[in-house]
Amino acid sequence: MRRGPLRRAGVLGVAGGLVAALTVGGGAVGETVPRLGLQPLWSDPDSLSHRRLAAHEAAGRTDLADALRPLAQAPTATWFTGDAPRERARALTAAAAAAGELPVLVAYDVPGRDCGSFSAGGAADEDAYLAWVRELAAGIGERPAVVVLEPDAVASAVTGCGTVPVRERLGLLRHAVEVLTALPATHVYVDAGHAGWVQDLPALAAALRAAGIDRAAGFALNVSNFQPTDATVAYGRRLSRLLGGAHFVVDTSRNGAGAPVTTGRDEDWCNPPGRRTGRLPSTLTGVDVVDAWLWVKRPGESDGSCRPGEPAAGEWFEEYALALVGV
């Protein structure tokens, strides 16, 4: 995806989550029940990292299995892109509900997705997109879910994508928010880019309002990016104040070493070397306006074939996965 210029904490049970007092980004807040509840976050047993772990175990490669285990066991989001999403969403949310866990879904099918870059694609037109969103909503139904809505779509509209009319895109996102928030147990977070991208926060806030943030649970930051957590929380607080105290979630899947040095090239954000996993997923953040640390980007899955020999976006990239856990 285009990123602009550049211990299982996520599955704390009731006993571990009744009282928490953590300090992150300068704010200490006691929590009893987090905004998203005390359900553990969903760890998908069919993720690519789980499959690779199982393959290494079956082959007796215990060193590689042990190295990948933290990635496989951590709750991560499931991305929905193209194709009819109803049955997949139904199966995933049903499995998560049966396990007593809260799934995180990413809706990523907006027309003109990724401004034609490595993850280009999306629905053919507005009608096709709204039909796709309705199918996704039908699959989720009344079961609990978190939906991160359209990574990059708002931020790229603010900074200029060159391929999509801004008003139409934001209106389309607003319709998507309306459809998804009509579900009784779905929490929608509209993606808002990352702390190193849009610096005109009033413009970003206006775009988020046009995209329906008033009806959503809040916004999402740092999806598939590498900005440090403290800097992201500070950025999110400023944006939150412009939005009347809106809450947000932060993708910490690959920000443990901070952002790479930027040169202005796409490769700065596409599988950049030297990165590490960040805070483990959790709904207990200790920060008043942060509802969760999430692993929205699935560590170990490629950003795209940005260098010779690198896998296409979404495919397993084992060398990079091992690097993320320091191997």
pLDDT cut 90: percent of the chain above it: 77
Q: What is the mean pLDDT of the chain?
A: 88
114 in active site: yes
**β-sheet with 186-191: strand ranges across:** 78-80, 104-107, 145-149, 186-191, 218-221, 247-251, 290-294
Burial group, residue 259, by CB count within 10 angstroms (0-12, 13-18, 19+): buried
pLDDT in tens, 88-122: 999 999 999 999 999 999 999 999 887 766 666 78
Per-residue pLDDT band at 65 (split at 50, 70, 90): very high
Q: Is 319 helix (H, G, I), strand (E, B) or coil?
A: helix
pLDDT in tens, 9-43: 332 222 222 223 223 333 334 456 899 988 899 99
Query: Residue 135: what pLDDT?
Result: 98
Per-residue pLDDT band at 3 (split at 50, 70, 90): very low
Whose CA is closest to 238, among 289, 293, 295, 285?
A: 289
Weakest-pLDDT range from 33-42, 89-98, 175-184, 263-272? 263-272
Q: Is the pLDDT of residue 218 over 50?
A: yes
Weakest-pLDDT range from 19-33, 39-53, 143-157, 172-186? 19-33
Q: What is the CATH number of domain 37-324?
A: 3.20.20.40
Pairing of strands 27-31, 20-24: antiparallel
Q: How many CB atoms lie within 10 A of CB 62?
A: 10
Sign (positive or negative) of CA dihedral 55, 60, 61, 62: positive
- Mean pLDDT to the nearest integer, 299-307: 92
Catalytic residue among 109, 114, 191, 291: 114
Please answer whether residues 146 and 106 qualify as being in contact, where contact means their C-beta atoms are separated by less than 8 angstroms: no
Q: How far apart are CA 207 and CA 43, in angstroms?
A: 33
Please answer whether residues 157 and 207 qualify as being in contact, where contact means their C-beta atoms are separated by less than 8 angstroms: yes
pLDDT in tens, 191-214: 999 999 999 999 999 999 999 999
Tell which wins on pLDDT, 265 or 58: 58
**Looking up tokens 């900005």, which residue turns up?**
227
State which amino acid sits at residue 315.
E
Query: Residue 25: what pLDDT?
Result: 35
Q: How far apart are CA 316 and CA 302, in angstroms?
A: 6
Query: Residue 163: what pLDDT?
Result: 67
What's the 3-state SS for 46-110? Answer: CCHHHHHHHHHHHCCCHHHHHHHHHHHHCCCCEEECCCCCHHHHHHHHHHHHHHCCECEEEECCC
- The secondary structure of the chain in percent helix, strand, coil, rounded to multiples of 5, reads 35, 15, 50
**Can you name the residues that pair with 301 across neighbouring β-strands?**
316
Q: How far apart are CA 155 and CA 211, in angstroms?
A: 11
Which residues fall within 8 angstroms of residue 294, CB to CB, at 6 or more apart?
10, 41, 77, 104, 146, 148, 220, 249, 250, 251, 252, 253, 281
Please answer whether residues 290 and 303 qualify as being in contact, where contact means their C-beta atoms are separated by less than 8 angstroms: no
Q: Is the pLDDT of residue 226 over 80?
A: yes
DSSP 8-state secondary structure symbol assigned to residue 316: B
| Residue 209, Ramachandran bin (φ over 0: left; ψ between -120 and 50: alpha; else beta) | alpha
Using alpha carbons, list the distances in angstroms from residue 316 to 48, 109, 304, 321.
Answer: 7, 21, 10, 8
**Looking up tokens 């708002």, which residue turns up?**
154
